[in-house]
Structure 1
Amino acid sequence: MLPTDKIKDLLLHGENKHVEFKKCTDKVSASVYETVCSFLNAEGGYIFLGVDMLAQYWELTLNV
């Protein structure tokens, strides 16, 4: 798990080629799987679920 200060820093700087925000609040969308595959085929990265593109937080109720 990442330290809290690292998470805050990633959220503060927004999306880039290594960071993606996904709002998905009730199910994992296809774009999450696409991003996972993309990161696996590149240099890796971080996917934040329950966070939209403006870094606003949403409650997660995912059943995976």
Structure 2
Amino acid sequence: LDQVVLVSGTVEEKDDTHIKLSGGVFCNGDFSNAELSEGSQASIKGRVVGYDDLFGEVRIDNCTVEN
């Protein structure tokens, strides 16, 4: 927890405040200007805040798109 990581994967969902990557990675951040669409590849950097047992997702915040 509280480690900065760089993750890559296929975008499954995207809106202005979050991106969900394949493999169960949920990223919070400001993605209003990110030129990504569902199905595209993305590398995202952020801070791990935990794991959501209910949804089976790793939660990352303060995310920025690196590619």
User: TM-score with structure 1 length normalisation?
Assistant: 0.24
Q: Structure with the greater relative contact order (CA < 8 A, sep ≥ 6): 1 or 2?
A: 1
Structure with larger Rg: 1
Structure in which a larger fraction of residues adopt helix: 1
Structure in which a larger fraction of residues adopt strand: 2
